Amino acid sequence: MKVHLALAAVGLTAILLTTTQLAGETSPAAAPTTPSTVTPVEAPSSQAPPPPPPPRVYASSSDLPDGPEFPVSGAGTFHEVPGNGPVVGTGPLRTYAVEIENGITVDEQAFSAFVDATLGDPRGWTARGARSVRRVSGAASVRVRLTSQQTARDVCGYEIPVDVSCRDGNLVFLSAARWIRGAVAFLPDLNTYRTYMVNHEVGHAFGQGHQPCGVAGGPAPVMMQQTFSVSNDEIVRITNGVSQGAFIPQDGKVCAPNGWPYP
């Protein structure tokens, strides 16, 4: 009887040991602990971008405005931009050719097209039957030249230290510095200033002299020296006694910039 009890106890112990081992082998292993990665959310910046710099305040209306680069110097010789056009207007015919200084790089076709459009406009020198104009290649009454800054200074003078355009005989010299940058009185309207350049200097070639502002607040005469200013008083200060071929009164009159002989 004791033997039977001993055998029963041994069997029970074996069963218990087997069950415990099987349970340990079949239990899933504990998963390794991995720290979670949290992407921090940046708070929106409370710093506003710096404001743009204020626009330049020019000391004088005759200052050359800020802007793109322009041809500073060239060869001092010129080549023609070929082109012929119809007669525009009904008065006595004046022909013109378009030229570019050698050694400078510009859009020659765009320049010549602008000259054509300006001289052919009904607000221009052909208005009221005064004259007609025609673009030609070769011999011409007037030659309109786009000129580097230094050549313009050499031809037009720099006694008054301002970049200007000018007319010498039948040659019209348009300063590239002004063609690219414009003039303070016209800012930001570069096209109207270019119109003024062409009409003012060709006007000299057509026998027109300088004029002052006549009607305060009205359009400036195209023969007013608007590159200097549209104020009679300021022109007097800038020219400082250097003759401009016309009497400019110190009368406080200020005109609106204008590029046309007959606006």
- Whether residue 1 is predicted with pLDDT greater than 80 in this model: the reply is no
Q: How confident is the model at residue 54 (pLDDT cuts 50, 70, 90)?
A: confident
Q: Burial letters for 240-252: b for 16+ Cβ neighbours within 10 Å, e otherwise? A: eeeebeeebeeee
Residue 7 is predicted with a pLDDT of 31
Q: What tokens does 62 get?
A: 């005759």
- Rounded average pLDDT over 236-245: 94
Q: Check pLDDT > 50 for residue 4.
A: no
Please report, rounded to a whole number, the percentage of residues in the chain having pLDDT higher than 90: 78
Whether the pLDDT of residue 46 is over 80: the answer is no
Selected residue with higher pLDDT from 146 and 36: 146
CATH architecture, domain defined by 78-208: 3-Layer(aba) Sandwich (3.40)
What pLDDT score was predicted for residue 53? 77
Query: Kind of pairing, strands 142-147 and 171-175?
Result: parallel
> Could you give phi then psi for residue 97, rounded to 5 degrees?
-125, 160
Q: What is the pLDDT of residue 45?
A: 59
> What helix, strand, coil percent values describe the chain, rounded to 5?
30, 15, 55
Quote the mean pLDDT of the chain: 87
pLDDT higher for 24 or 246?
Answer: 246
Q: pLDDT tens digits, residue range 174-203?
A: 999 999 999 999 999 999 999 999 999 999
**pTM, entire model:** 0.80
pLDDT tier for residue 3 given thresholds of 50, 70 and 90: very low
Q: Which residues pair with 79 in a beta bridge?
A: 100
* CA 176 – CA 147 distance, rounded (Å): 5
Between β-strands 142-147 and 93-101, what pairing exists: parallel, antiparallel or unpaired? parallel
Query: What are the sequence ranges of the domains in the chain?
Result: 78-208
| pLDDT reported for residue 40 | 54
Give the per-residue pLDDT at 49.
81
Q: List pLDDT tens digits, range 69-119.
A: 999 999 999 999 999 999 999 999 999 999 999 999 999 999 999 999 999
